[in-house]
Amino acid sequence: MGRSARVVLDSSVLLAPSARIGGGGGVTGEEEKEDAAQVALRPGAEALLRRLRYSNLRVAICHPEGLPTNESGFLERTANMHCFGYIPLKPPSGSDLLNELMLEWSTTNSCFFVSSRVDEVLLSELQNNNWTVIAIDNEYITESSRVIHIGMLQELLITLATSIKREIGSSSTLLVGYVMKQSREDDFAKRGAFPLYPSKNGLIFVPLSFELPLASQLQEVDLVLHKITDEIINIDTNPSISFPKGISFSMGMSEIIRFVEDHCDFCIIDPFKNIYPLLNRLQIQEILVRLEGLNTEGRPKIRAPFYLKAENFCVSELQKKLPEANLSFPLIVKPQVACGVADAHNMALIFKIEEFSNLTVPLPAILQEYIDHGSKIFKFYVIGDKIFHAIKNSMPNASHLKSSSGGKPLTFNRCTCLSKYIQTKF
């Protein structure tokens, strides 16, 4: 897609107003340390910098000459920490106000200077060199075709994304809005999965902000990538309730759900109706059982693990029901609710019937045959007609697990946790 866009963030949009303490002449070393300790980023700036670091944009932080040393030092350290450029601007005299790096960047199509302070001479010089100025919460900056006014720092990313898409001007470039918890977002971003400048397949990614009106953001993006389960606030564990009934989502996610329901042609990945069955392990089992009915002539047959839904762990009852369900030990025991509650991943591996006594796995539960798979599982992902797979570490074979159980059920939270424990033990 050509060379990446450039973004320069002025100190006025990053530093909290309370940080402007001053640090000029006449202060002692101790006073300077105290001043430095009080310099801080404004609300929302830390999240912005974290996202820009892995955005596929060239980013720099600048400040005007004469900034107190505690603030300029703080900005330089912040720039270095995020692998950004650091630009002390020249004094406002002469005709050449721009740093050499900024002049070099001017040769690209998409250059953005983000500021909330008024410096008409600098802003004029920037516009003369093909820069677009994004003015945050400052109505006094001169109106111009190359000045974009926004009210909040939180609007910056979607403003950059829509501006870059517009400048590229290609109908094949798609803007993807995404919603997920921060840890998940950070993991994807560090692998370069969320570029703000188009990837080789023409995708621009931008986080949807619940601090801004969602309707206007959803009208800007072409599709939404979500992890809806990250936004579950509460879930009714009553087994008679069919999801999504009984699920409470965050206000932001609830608004997205309503928007999608009102715009049936809007692209959402994955459709919500495909996610709801996966919140219930009983429904997952029923889906897997239906795979046995597929036409597999000439191909290996697929069989779902044998299972039993348990309303209680009464030993005498289970002794009768387990053989009827073709179940034999060892068994893996999982809560029926698959996510959205704190103990949804509390599981146990059972090696004999007596181990059901005092078992703490939440009820109702799904009892499933444990199938040896050599500590590896293959996870398949399907997008349209494309199929991808990944090989993941998993739980060891039953004989290894039994030898480490000490005659008790092995209880754990998530299969990955048990896998790491066993790998360390053996």
Q: Give the residue from 169, 191, 207 where a domain finishes.
A: 169
CATH number of residue 376's parent domain: 3.30.470.20
Determine, yes or no, domain membership for 395: yes
CA 337 – CA 71 distance, rounded (Å): 51
Determine, yes or no, domain membership for 112: yes
Q: What is the per-residue pLDDT across 22-42, written as a single tens digit (0 to 9) for each? A: 433 344 445 445 455 589 999
Does residue 256 sit in the same domain as residue 319? no
Q: In 3-state terms, what secondary structure has residue 393?
A: strand
Does residue 267 sit in the same domain as residue 364? no
Which residues lie closer than 8 Å to 127 by C-beta, 6 or more apart? 133, 144, 146, 147
Does residue 215 sit in the same domain as residue 313? no
Does residue 291 sit in the same domain as residue 419? yes
Does residue 121 sit in the same domain as residue 245? no
Q: Give the residue from 137, 169, 201 where a domain finishes.
A: 169
**Kind of pairing, strands 386-393 and 376-383?**
antiparallel
Determine, yes or no, domain membership for 406: yes
Q: How many domains in the chain?
A: 3
Taking the model in full, what pTM does it have?
Answer: 0.84
Does residue 146 sit in the same domain as residue 246? no
DSSP conformation class of 175: E
Q: What is the per-residue pLDDT across 245-288, written as a single tens digit (0 to 9) for each? A: 788 999 999 999 999 999 989 999 989 998 998 899 999 999 99
Does residue 228 sit in the same domain as residue 291? no
Does residue 319 sit in the same domain as residue 233? no
What type of residue is 57?
A: L
Determine, yes or no, domain membership for 95: yes
Determine, yes or no, domain membership for 146: yes
Q: Give the residue from 169, 191, 223 where a domain finishes.
A: 169
Does residue 180 sit in the same domain as residue 153? no
Share of residues in the chain with pLDDT > 90 (%): 54
Determine, yes or no, domain membership for 54: yes
Residue 193: both structure tokens together: 């999965």
Q: Name the pLDDT band for 405 (thresholds 50, 70, 90).
A: low
For the beta carbon of residue 69, count every other beta carbon within 10 angstroms.
13
Does residue 18 sit in the same domain as residue 162? yes
Q: What range defines the domain where residue 364 resides?
A: 282-425
294 or 295, which is more confident?
A: 294
Q: What is the per-residue pLDDT across 135-152, written as a single tens digit (0 to 9) for each? A: 998 876 666 667 899 999
Determine, yes or no, domain membership for 1: no
Determine, yes or no, domain membership for 116: yes
Does residue 159 sit in the same domain as residue 237? no
Which residues lie closer than 8 Å to 263 by C-beta, 6 or more apart? none
What type of residue is 408?
A: K
CATH number of residue 43's parent domain: 3.40.50.1000
90 or 73, which is more confident?
A: 73
Which residues lie closer than 8 Å to 52 by C-beta, 6 or more apart? 7, 59, 82, 84, 196
Does residue 222 sit in the same domain as residue 366? no
